[in-house]
Amino acid sequence: MSTRTVPSPEELRAAPKVLLHDHLDGGLRPSTVVELAEQTGYDGLPTTDVAELGRWFTRAADSGSLESYLETFAHTCGVMQTEEALARVAAECVEDLADDGVVYAEVRYAPELFTEGGLSLDAVIKAVQAGFTEGERRVAERGGRIRTGTLLCAMRQHARALEIAELAVRYRDAGVVGFDIAGPEAGFPPTRNLDAFEYMRVNNAHFTIHAGEAFGLASIWEAIQHCGAERLGHGVRIVDDIKTSADGKVELGRLAAYVRDRRIPLELCPSSNVQTGAVGSIAEHPIGLLARLRFRITVNTDNRLMSGCSMSSEFAALVDAFGFGWAEVQWCTINAMKSAFIDFDQRLDLINNVIKPWYAERV
């Protein structure tokens, strides 16, 4: 790992970064949750004290299981049932990411979770897109730069994946760049949604799949070989197919070798994995090993509210735990940009004109 200079938290914040895995309903500002609850009449919050609520989310998400981690989303989704609320959350998301130095972000959410107040799926998508556009406008107005793309998720435990995939294709010229399935992994294998993935493929549309987070290799294998996922949401359990012997010799199983050989991007989310119990601590996170083995790794936030994290804090944790230097930060950033679901020429433009020039002075 490069040791020339140790990136400081402030420099990491200034560095151009690319985020592929961030949930819209997992990234609200605590103050916004409180204000929206008041405005929309949502009375289920555990507290209306902003600082205390922020701590409540991270504590509750620190649950050791994906299922109980996901329970915290009842409160964010609870306050996101109007067009105004959705647009506000989306606009603030873009502003917060830009303030953290993110230059390209794919933000995901499940439209079906925001229809309890009577909104149609179309209305939800339009409200969120309007919010993203507004956020980009505010960032540009203050001289910043960010581009966002949307991923629509279907929830694994519901049976609406095909319908959501159809929406992802219908809105692909309006800012939606791909599709995903999210929610509890155990008991809900990706092959339950084959029709949706086939629909995406025949329409030449992109998708990633949450796999290999709370469940192991079988889920990753299905996601890639049966469903055709282009990227893996988390995918961290791929280490179960990698044997490291006491003398340091590393042996890749067939699936791990396939993932590495095909350069399948792993959307790794270190803090989130610690909270759901997928790994014991950041220091024990397989990202160190996967980086050494040159898997196509990317670093992501997953849920900024539940983890109390940002892109720069995730990188700072990796600097501390694994000695990541600027070379590694740049590598993860370029990996992510290469793996994005926007057009090749636009990815290249960001790599050559925004990312590389900034890091060139540091690596």
Ligand X SMILES: O=c1[nH]cnc2c1ncn2[C@@H]1O[C@H](CO)[C@@H](O)[C@H]1O
- Note whether 302 binds Zn ion by CB under 5 A: yes
Q: Which is catalytic among the residues 95, 106, 112, 213?
A: 213
Selection from Zn ion, ligand X, none that 215 binds (CB < 5 to 8 A by kind) is: none
Considering CB under 6 A, how many residues would be counted as binding ligand X?
A: 19
23 scored as a contact of ligand X (CB under 6 A): yes
Residue among 270, 205, 195 at smallest CA distance from 235: 270
Note whether 180 binds Zn ion by CB under 5 A. Answer: no
Is 228 labeled as ligand-binding?
Answer: no
CA distances from 111 to 99, 136, 242, 293 (A): 26, 21, 37, 37
Annotate 113-160 with DSSP letters as a single string.
GG-TTS--HHHHHHHHHHHHHHHHHHHHHTT---EEEEEEEEETTSS-
- Residue 181, binding choice from ligand X, Zn ion, none, Cβ under 5 to 8 Å by partner class: none
Q: Is the dihedral of CA 75, 13, 353, 356 positive or negative?
A: negative
Q: Which stretch binds ligand X (CB under 6 A): 19-27, 31-39, 123-131, 292-300?
A: 19-27
Site string for ligand X, 299-328 (x = CB under 6 A): ---xx-------------------------
Work out whether the CA dihedral 97, 336, 312, 58 comes out positive or negative.
positive
Considering only residues 272, 275, 300, 339, which one is a binding residue for ligand X as defined by CB under 6 A? 272
Amino acid present at 92: E
CB of 74 to ligand X, least distance (A): 9
How many Å apart are CA 37 and CA 339, to the nearest integer? 37
Q: Per-residue string for binding with ligand X, 104-123, x by CB under 6 A?
A: ----xxx--x----------
Residue nearest to Zn ion (CB): 302
Q: Is 23 annotated as a binding residue?
A: yes
7/30 with CB nearer ligand X? 30
Alpha helix locations (H) across the chain?
A: 9-14, 30-40, 50-61, 66-71, 73-78, 83-99, 121-141, 161-170, 194-202, 217-221, 254-261, 270-275, 287-292, 304-307, 311-322, 326-339, 344-350, 356-360
The residues facing 155 across adjacent strands are 182
Active site residue 213: yes
Given Zn ion, ligand X, none, residue 26, with its beta carbon under 5 to 8 Å by kind, binds: ligand X
Interacting residue with ligand X among 80, 124, 127, 153 (CB under 6 A) = 153
The answer to whether the annotation marks 234 as part of a ligand binding site is no
Q: Are 209 and 180 in contact (CB under 8 A)?
A: yes
Residues sharing a CB contact under 8 Å with residue 68, sequence separation 6 or more, in sequence order: 60
Smallest gap from residue 72 Cβ to ligand X (A): 9
Distance of CA 48 to the CA centre of its chain: 27
Polymer length of the chain: 363
Binding mask 249-278 for Zn ion (x = CB under 5 A): ------------------------------
Of the candidate spans 21-29, 93-101, 122-130, 237-245, the one that interacts with ligand X by CB under 6 A turns out to be: 21-29
Residue 150: phi and psi, rounded to 5, are -105, 140
Q: Which residues are catalytic?
A: 213
| Binding site residues, ligand X, CB under 6 A | 23, 25-26, 66, 70, 73, 77, 108-110, 113, 153, 182-183, 210, 213, 272, 302-303
Binding residues for substrate: 23, 25, 183
| Binding site residues, Zn ion, CB under 5 A | 302
